[in-house]
């Protein structure tokens, strides 16, 4: 019973570890069933589909939520919190953290700390999710089921950890998903009440918007850790296996230009050329035009010169 209560508290408080975070990091790097429960829970939602059915309204909500939350992950969790490729106000920074948390990929600080570590050790023995080191499936999802990778390394994100509101969201990272799920049920109930012709309900919108959309979004994001390191083309010579893929760029709103990103991670733009579709960057430009963000870092001319030199050889 004590062990169950301890696990429950750890799910509620991501910074709580009985022996401290260092004890968790010292555990063997292996699959753990308790850590897999959240991912199993998200996928179990598919089993409710025969009971709630479908409607165009529900499918539309799921697709819309996939798009806006994928943008939150790529534009905010990745390009802002992980790499600081543009600037914004403290208020909008908080909004971005909440928005990204609806994707149910833990807090912005944990996400950024893991990603910065990945770039520092990309595809070497210290990389938490490298297909080269542990195989495709471990790089895709297995690495998230071990206690070793659960603590947030606040030492790598000192620039973000100084904001108590971000630390709070990161520590209690289930609050936003819980409110998000409840609001979806309420949305579905309201749609059924005011527009019964849509043929939807609270349960249907909840299953499609929370479970289906989130599960697809999760795998779309994780493909960058796994598939983008084994499939695609390499424009730049990097020390890792990062690849460029138009298909992954479409799925992830621009993150598929992964080799570009690993060559120069400080740019807000990952599709370095006009023909490399980067929807996240286009939307960030709209945010900048509205004054919500500013100082989007460009791709330096030296990077383009590097490509031109290679083509001339």
b (16+ CB within 10 A) / e for 141-153: bbbbbbbbbbbbb
> Which residue spans within 51-180 are E strands per DSSP?
87-88
Which pLDDT score, from 0 to 100, does residue 8 have?
Answer: 65
Give pTM, 2 decimals.
0.95
> Is pLDDT at 282 greater than 90 in this prediction?
yes
Whether residue 211 contacts residue 48, with contact meaning beta carbons closer than 8 Å, is answered with yes
What is the pLDDT confidence band of residue 5, given thresholds at 50, 70 and 90?
A: low
Which of 32 and 131 is assigned the larger pLDDT? Answer: 131
Of 6-20, 78-92, 258-272, where does mean pLDDT reach its minimum? 6-20
Per-residue confidence band for 196, with pLDDT thresholds at 50, 70 and 90: very high
Contact 270, 281 (CB under 8 A): yes
Residues 241 and 239: their CA atoms lie apart, in Å, by: 7
Q: Is the pLDDT of residue 10 over 80?
A: no
- 12-30 mean pLDDT: 83
Q: What's the farthest any 2 CA atoms get from each other in the chain?
A: 68
210-253 confidence digits (pLDDT tens)? 999 999 999 999 999 999 999 999 999 999 999 999 999 999 99
Is the model's pLDDT at 4 over the cut of 70? no
Residues in the chain: 313
β pairing state of 87-88 and 293-294:
antiparallel
What is the model's pLDDT at position 261?
A: 98
Question: In this predicted model, what pLDDT tens digit does every residue of 128-183 receive, in sequence order?
Answer: 999 999 999 999 999 999 989 999 999 999 999 999 999 999 999 999 999 999 99
> Is residue 78 classed as helix, strand or coil in its secondary structure?
helix
Where do the DSSP E strands lie in 30-185? 87-88
Residue recorded with tokens 């598939």: 227
pLDDT at 11 over 80: no
pLDDT of residue 36: 87
Q: Residue 18 has what pLDDT?
A: 80
231-247 core/surface letters (b: 16 or more CB in 10 A; e: else): ebeebbebebbbbbbee
- d(Cα 242, Cα 235) in Å, to the nearest integer? 10
pLDDT tens-place string over residues 34-48: 888 889 999 999 999
Residues 205 and 186: their CA atoms lie apart, in Å, by 9
pLDDT at 53 over 70: yes
Calculate the CA dihedral of residues 290, 296, 299, 301 and round it to 10 degrees: 90
Taking alpha carbons only, the member of 184, 188, 240 closest to residue 211 is: 184
For the chain, list the strands marked E by DSSP: 87-88, 293-294
Is the pLDDT at 2 greater than 60? The verdict is: no
| Helices marked H in 172-300 | 175-194, 202-206, 213-222, 246-251, 258-263, 279-289
70-124 pLDDT, tens digit each: 999 999 999 999 999 999 999 999 999 999 999 999 999 999 999 999 999 999 9
Q: Locate 283 and state its tokens.
A: 């939307």
Res 309: pLDDT:
80
Phi, psi of 284 (to 5 degrees): -65, -35
| Distance (Å, whole) CA 261 – CA 153 | 23
Q: 6 pLDDT exceeds 90?
A: no
**pLDDT of the residue at 25:** 85
């Amino acid at each position: 019973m004590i062990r169950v209560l301890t696990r429950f508290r750890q799910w509620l408080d991501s910074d709580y570890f009985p022996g401290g975070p260092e004890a968790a990091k010292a555990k063997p790097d292996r699959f753990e069933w308790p850590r897999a429960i959240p991912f199993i829970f998200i996928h179990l939602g598919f089993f409710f589909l025969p009971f709630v059915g479908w409607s165009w309204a529900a499918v539309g909500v799921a697709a819309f939520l996939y798009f806006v939350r994928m943008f939150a992950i790529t534009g905010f969790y990745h390009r802002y919190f992980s790499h600081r490729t543009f600037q914004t106000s403290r208020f909008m920074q908080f909004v971005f953290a909440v928005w990204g948390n609806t994707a149910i990929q833990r807090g912005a600080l944990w996400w950024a700390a893991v990603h910065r570590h990945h770039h520092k050790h990309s595809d070497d023995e210290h990389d938490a999710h490298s297909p080269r080191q542990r195989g495709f499936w471990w790089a895709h999802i297995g690495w998230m089921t071990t206690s070793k990778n659960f603590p947030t390394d606040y030492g790598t994100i000192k620039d973000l950890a100084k904001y108590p509101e971000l630390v709070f969201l990161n520590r209690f990272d289930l609050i936003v998903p819980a409110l998000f799920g409840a609001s979806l049920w309420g949305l579905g109930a309201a749609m059924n009440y005011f527009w019964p012709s849509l043929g939807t309900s609270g349960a249907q919108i909840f299953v499609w918007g929370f479970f289906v959309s989130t599960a697809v979004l999760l795998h779309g994001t994780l493909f960058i850790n796994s598939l983008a390191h084994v499939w695609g083309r390499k424009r730049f010579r990097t020390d890792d296996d990062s690849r460029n893929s138009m298909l992954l760029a479409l799925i992830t709103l621009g993150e598929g230009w992964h080799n570009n990103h690993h060559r120069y991670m400080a740019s807000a733009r990952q599709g370095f050329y006009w023909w490399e579709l980067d929807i996240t960057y286009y939307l960030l430009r709209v945010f900048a035009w509205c004054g919500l963000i500013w100082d989007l870092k460009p791709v330096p001319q030296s990077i383009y010169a590097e490509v031109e030199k290679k083509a001339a050889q």
